[in-house]
Structure 1
């Protein structure tokens, strides 16, 4: 009997690296037709080399006209995964440059909603959209107020959007500290030190792996009785 993802068409926005790429691997291995988008042609080519059966498209999720044309070209499809992310917004509020927070919203909040809205007419009624937020939405810790604003805003929208778009299912996965290229702004030594410090605060005792978050994404895509839900895949850091 074919699996639940066999021949399903899945679009992964921001799927050229990290969690998006790990999700593409799992879905492709499960028989899905996977299309990934991203702004970097070089990273998309690397993804294509790693997973030869996928389709890659250079696409800026801030450009609504390009998004509308892209989804019109894709036509009806089954599942949307939104792994778009920015790198700004962290820091203690008293010294946080508010322009950095604005840039953080421009890098994640707006392109994610832009992509979801453009995709709505083409998602099959039995399908889903899964947003990737972040554990900062629930951590209540120093230095994450800006990230909490970005990701918490997205999480607050999930139930309302799910009710509006029913029976299309709308969910989110909220990762914690995951070893991806998001951390490449740090030197290798600083990254290792940061991960060691986070590991001491995480109940699981380590940072996460992209494929662990991808597992949670596939669960939400495949479970046809879950909508309006945020799953925390964060090793317990938000507890």
Structure 2
């Protein structure tokens, strides 16, 4: 089994790379940060520096890679676009779309994938948290493209996972002490009473990669956030 994980050098993407590698998959990861790539290159089959927003770089990567079985898209522009809508510049909103939704779409245009595609969305697509309008727009759009893509790309299966609050480096813009307090406050409202771990989302991705009768589905992995 040959798997490409774009955005596979940190957080959920890296946890997925490690899980699938342990399952004896040939895993190729991409990322933008040379330091993170160097740290993971010996833990996967291959690691390439690719900026998902660079159309030429993405096209060249897929031309070199050729056909493969499964694609996992785990791009993240970080906290770009976080905050009340009135305080945001349009450049940040566009950047959030460029860094995730549009990067996903371009990768899907170029990837020679034969088995399945799994995209990482987020629970903000279906929530009502103030300050997350941009995230809701980007992730909502990501989730809405899953069913038509599943029909259009068949027999390639297309699914998504929608994590809630997960303790990953995404939160590094928040100081550690404040982050712990924020996680504790979030946990009070969750049925499972804690934030998630990257490996738990990786478990869901690995399930979708192997679930040969599942397509067109968005799988929440949020500790009950969207039903609380």
TM-score past 0.5 threshold: yes
Runs of at least 4 residues off by over 6 Å: none
**Is 2:86 the counterpart of 1:80?**
no
**2:29 match: secondary structure:** strand
Matched, 1:94 2:86: yes
1:229 is matched with 217
Tell me which of 50, 54, 59 is aligned to 1:63.
Answer: 54
Question: Which of 92, 105, 116 in structure 1 is aligned with 2:108?
Answer: 116
Name the CA distance, whole Å, in 2 between partners of 1:162 and 1:168. 7
* Aligned residues of 1:82 and 1:132 also touching (Cα < 8 A): yes
Residues in 2 aligned to 1:196 and 1:101: alpha-carbon distance in whole angstroms: 29
- Report the Cα offset of residue 100 of structure 1: 2.3
Shift of 1:147: 0.6
The TM-score, its normalising length taken from structure 2, stands at 0.95
Question: 1:220: which partner in 2?
Answer: 208
Map Cα deviations across residues 165-215 of structure 1 (whole Å, 9 max, x no partner).
000000000000000000001111111111111111221111000000000
Distance, in Å, in 2 between the alignment partners of 1:202 and 1:94 is: 29
1:140 Cα deviation after fit: 2.1
Deviation at 1:95, TM superposition (A): 3.0
Instruction: In structure 1, list runs of 5 or more residues that go unmatched.
Output: 1-7
Alignment gaps of 5+ in structure 2: none
Report the counterpart of residue 205 of structure 1 in structure 2: 193
Give the TM-score normalised by structure 1: 0.91
SS class of match (2:70): strand
